[in-house]
Amino acid sequence: MRETDFGAFLPRLGDALLETLLMVTGAFLFAGIIGLLLGLLLYASRPGNLLENRVVFAVLNVVINVVRPVPFIIIAIAIIPFTRLLVGTSIGAGAAIVPLTLAAAVAVARIAESNLVAVDPGAVEAGFAMGAGPARVLFTIVVPEALGPLVLGFTYIVVALVDASAVAGVIGAGGLGDLAIRYGYQRFDTLVVVVIVVILIVLVQAAQLLGDRIARAVMH
């Protein structure tokens, strides 16, 4: 154990917090949009559903099932060339958004799909009976009816991203996880580790509280 040098640590803590927030919000935005679109496509193309398409459904299914089980750290390393191509570097919080987005998007796709599938088929049928077309039914009935669970699913993703961003830190993304390991763990400074873990817990709690609130507001 050694004395923590707060004068040097606190500014780094502030930077690391910003890096984590950047990774999480950036990846959440991109993964949210991409994953939701994939989930909608999965739902709509599912055999028997409103835009049934066996080929689309099968291809998406396979792609998602291939990406999903791969540990995040391996994804992050494996797509380094792609990340470089996209953002010019593979180092830093900005670059980490790429693998985080990929990993989160497939998770969002599955979460969205399962929440959409759970929508009462009767509501969908009522939409068609009233003369709505498939796209209209999808966006004005299926999505709104699934909104509450979707919000909860997205909240889960935010929490998972906080976790994954710490892992990304290990391969040069910066952020709170990186700081905890380099400044705390490797220097045997328990206090630093504890402070950072507490901050992570507060972040996760805040995200969960917000998600619960929004979900409650949209569910009736």
- Site residues, another protein (CB under 8 A): 120, 122-123, 125-126, 128-133, 136, 140-141, 144-145, 147, 218-220
Closer residue to another protein in complex, CB, 74/219:
219
Least distance (Å) from another protein to the CB of residue 53?
17
- What is the DSSP secondary structure assignment for residue 140, as one 8-state letter? I
Least distance (Å) from another protein to the CB of residue 109?
22
CB 99 within 8 A of CB 83: yes
Q: Which residue from 1, 2, 73, 19 is spatially nearest to 203, judged by alpha carbons? A: 19
Residue 219 dihedral angles phi and psi, to the nearest 5°: -100, 140
Both structure tokens of 157: 């993703």
Closer residue to another protein in complex, CB, 64/150:
150
Least distance (Å) from another protein to the CB of residue 65?
31
Closer residue to another protein in complex, CB, 29/126:
126
Least distance (Å) from another protein to the CB of residue 114?
18
**139-172: burial string, b at 16+ Cβ within 10 Å, e else:** eebbbebbbbbbbbbbbbbbbbbbebbbbbbebe
- How far from the centroid of its chain's Cα atoms is residue 43's Cα? 19
Closer residue to another protein in complex, CB, 5/125:
125
